[in-house]
Chains A and B, each alone.
Chain A
């Protein structure tokens, strides 16, 4: 147990720490916590400096400012002296963390940690430190202090900033991974003093993300030079030479040196690295607006804008998520993860953990009565590993204990003896003969071929051919609520498993197989859940929860810590897509060749279906006569992969839409015109030759994109000269539903509940997408009742029938079809019941908001309310209407093919930073055609949210592994977009209509919004600088290289 001490003087603090290496001095405590969370340093004692007098004082003297070490960054930020006299420091403080953290973190902590973002600034400001050691106090320059070995028995009392003459020029810049709250890649600070045109003195420093250092050699180089005659390219070279920096998961040493030199040279001289780019692309001239599109938003949606049913409770913090449930006597569970990426299990000994007081049960593979395997496509993943572990997050055992501390301690008492196996870390090498097999079946999980036409001849005759290799990241879902929930066996012997999911009945079926329990003995509650995006489609914590609830007979809860979620959860399969695309002299596509290699990680989950979907979209929305495609999916020990919003489609559209823009450029055609010559024709069969739904809106979406006002916004070099701005687009063409091969059931039930509410029960899940609002709106409209009459029920196998999965943009269709089929029947039953009670003819009555009224009456006066109707009926007489169907499928079965598609066009305007190579997304415009909009707010939310998730995919997100271990272990290293990364503007448009003979209703939009974001951004980058990024997330280093190449 840790001890926290509160000395009131420095002497006392030093005495407490003397000779004790495990003592840690703490100011705001933000740094020490991060160290603990990383497992870097655990200590028995912390000495809080918070009660020591004087450590928070800021004293301004004529010749210096003395800042007490415990001054918080927020206090400094607000301090008038800092804002007025120390602008460089002020800017640097504002770039640290976020306001709430700046309210805790202190200047002393930032300096004491040595890599803080303030250190380079303080070096450039000639800062000194007052430090206290046992027996003496000392004022030492920051430079000298940094050169000393770390001394745990030293307390920083204050930071002293000497008053120096105002410099002629100064520069500060922090280069990070996103716009705000980012770890530093590197930070630079520089100051130059000039007298009579000559540099008399200068300070150059780097730090923040790298070891902080003054760049003395370069300072010497500049000092004495005539400022206007400084050889900045030479200074740049000298800076690159002098700067030292590490290589990490995100950026290379080379990039750090280059970008720091760029930033210093630019900041002090105004010079930009690389060439001046002049765009050669003909700018697209916007056409007229498309009249039928509607813009979505509260201000413009009018009466079609409704508050979602779960909104108020969520905002007030009153909605109970499945991870929020607390009951007396509830046990807390933890799962023991492999922690090693590939090893044979020799032995698992749980005896010590079981003997620990407070431990209720430990479960392992020995407790599994059924089949120890799960997986939506193939059941290759053990619920609890028995003979082998294949990735760091593999579950080996689980414990239930009286509280979290005991559960955590129990995990450390489980002894697992492993025999390490070679780690397979590369999808290509995984397929080499002789590589260690992750599964006994071999490392090739699946392979697909498709061919049509004469590819060789088409390429031979082509006028233009573009060949490129596109690489996509291992994106993490990043749902805010990590995996978790609770389980118990109820009095009737039913096992209740309540954990966020995306298809309760499939979870129920998978659990039934693992536990060898009949389906009727398992109830799964799978929503509400705090986000999923495909990451809760596969089983997560349910097997462990179920095993522990069955073994203990008690309620058991669990919620994964984020680091465990990162290690255990699925990610998107990284893909390497090699694409060769050809067109004729008139800009008509003639041939497409695709070779795709995807990394499944340790288990298949939905990755085979993702790869299949990617190939189904290998030509995007274009007609290409000759095609050859080939895909391989490899097992590795790189975590484990599965479904993620977009499902292979967005990866493929990245490649296809970039190829299209590049061919357009090769032909000298406007990208809109090139697309117009190649879009698939409405009324023709689909890419695989399958029947498709009659509604096609590709031409309309292209026309909408062509008319978008984004083209009229400024492009080219920015007003301050620091960025190149470009606009790009991508077409969006996304299949809905699971396809022809997997079973894809749908259904639902509408009923009058005993309390008079109309229950609309669907086996779908509310993941945040607005399912409940869509159900409410749609059922009320079909039934004729009011919104307040509807109680949507979802995510509970005990309350709702099978509806299929809440994935693949299929939920919307299911909601609509159930309402269409069941609501008229329920209305008929409601009216019939009312007619019997009221003694009237059924055809004289009608369902209205609140109950049943006379058909001929215009007053809306109720003859009987739903509540009174329900009261008057026996439970078995309550009207209900159920419907079951299969999600509509096409007629092609040689591969998986979609029948229903949604359409769109995405435009992005981006700014490319000439100093850092970073890409900022300024504006996003999304045109969508997905049939009638069931709920404006939900639709808008899906498209906006997916847009920014796509921005993340394209500019910053990647779960990086080294030898099978995640380097990006939490949200401090795995970057998702912050609010400051969200585009300045987003506009979402919908084109609602369907063809008269289209019986398939509204299309889902869960994935549409992410489909073409990446190519729109990549094409915009190319518009700005003439370089197509071929790897997402876009590497700033490659951008800088591209800018340099043409100089």
Chain B
């Protein structure tokens, strides 16, 4: 049954007529041309399609559109508006955390939420938070180093008291 689904996508109100059982990842990629969210398994096992739903990481391939009704969805391109993403992107970039990069947007979403919630995450925190994000290229250590670097950048920034010093 096609019905109007209302939700916020990266801060913009959207109303879409799509089947309630269609999945957010397919709607993003095929209806809205929002392809920064990647689809790699389609069953919630790899995290390539990770988005923030009401601020919490969620697999867009597990979200049927009726579960998105009224929700605030942030995709990787929408992270621009989430302050901690600056540190995450910078840390991952400096460490050359990714290779093919197909999993990178999903990792970035999860790590942005982690850094928002945990001021100074340990390696164990990072491994736990990322246990639903698969990467085949890197062996993960570059991602861990990038996440730790992001945490350092955030710490340095808060000490400097200049929130836009990295922008």
Binding site for B on A (CB under 8 A): 1-4, 6, 29-30, 33-34, 37, 46, 48, 50, 74, 97-101, 103-104, 180-181, 297-298, 305, 307-308, 310-312, 314-321, 324, 326, 332, 403-404, 477-482, 528-531, 533, 559, 561-562, 767-770, 937-938, 940-941, 944-949, 970-972, 976-980, 982, 986
Contact = CB atoms under 8 A, between A and B. Distances in A.
Q: Chain B binding site: helix, strand, loop or mixed by DSSP?
A: loop
B131 A978 contact: yes
B99 A769 contact: yes
6 contacts: A315-B92, A315-B104, A317-B105, A479-B102, A941-B96, A971-B46
Given A99-B129, A99-B131, A100-B59, A970 B99 contact: no
B108 A971 contact: no
B32 to A, nearest CB: 9
B54 to A, nearest CB: 10
Q: Give the most central of B45, B67, B137: most A CB within 10 Å.
A: B137
B56 interface: yes
Contacts of B103: 480
Interface string B94-134: 11111111111100101000000000000000111111111
A164 B64 CA distance: 40
Contacts of A478: 136
A792 B153 CA distance: 30
Contact of B96 (A4, A48, A307): A307
Contacts of B1: 1-4
A986 B62 contact: no
B6 interface: no
Contacts of B133: 98, 979
A976 to B, nearest CB: 6
A318 B130 CA distance: 21
Given A99-B128, A770-B99, A941-B99, 8 more contacts: A103-B57, A104-B63, A316-B77, A317-B77, A480-B136, A481-B100, A562-B41, A979-B130
Contacts of B45: 181, 970-972
A948 B47 contact: no
A941 B138 contact: yes
B8 interface: no
A2 B137 contact: no
Nearest to B126: A979
B73 to A, nearest CB: 14
Given A1-B1, A482-B40, A531 B35 contact: no
Given A4-B64, A480-B103, A979-B144, A971 B19 contact: no
Contacts of B79: 316-317
A29 B62 contact: yes
Contacts of A976: 134, 136
Contacts of A561: 42
Contact of A34 (B43, B126, B128): B43
A840 to B, nearest CB: 41
Contacts of B94: 298, 307
A7 to B, nearest CB: 13
Contact of A986 (B29, B39, B98, B141): B141
A101 B132 contact: yes
Nearest to A37: B43
B38 A481 contact: yes
Nearest to A480: B102
B133 to A, nearest CB: 7
Contacts of A978: 131, 134
Contacts of B30: 332, 403-404
Contacts of A312: 89, 93
B135 interface: yes
A979 B131 contact: yes
A97 B101 contact: no
A531 B137 contact: yes
Contact of B134 (A307, A533, A971): A971
A477 B134 CA distance: 13
A949 B21 CA distance: 36
Contacts of A97: 44, 132
Contacts of B36: 316-318
Contacts of A74: 56
B33 to A, nearest CB: 4
Nearest to A532: B100
A4 B21 contact: yes
A491 to B, nearest CB: 23
A38 to B, nearest CB: 9
A4 B66 contact: yes
A37 B103 CA distance: 21
B48 interface: yes
A1 B19 CA distance: 8
Contacts of B126: 979
Contact of A480 (B40, B75, B77): B40
Given A46-B21, A986-B139, A311 B96 contact: yes
Contacts of A48: 66
A970 B61 CA distance: 14
A979 B36 CA distance: 22
A971 B138 contact: no
A314 B47 contact: no
B26 interface: yes
Given A98-B47, A98-B132, A481 B102 contact: yes
Nearest to A948: B139
A817 to B, nearest CB: 23
Q: Give the most central of A320, A332, A404, A971: most B CB within 10 Å.
A: A971
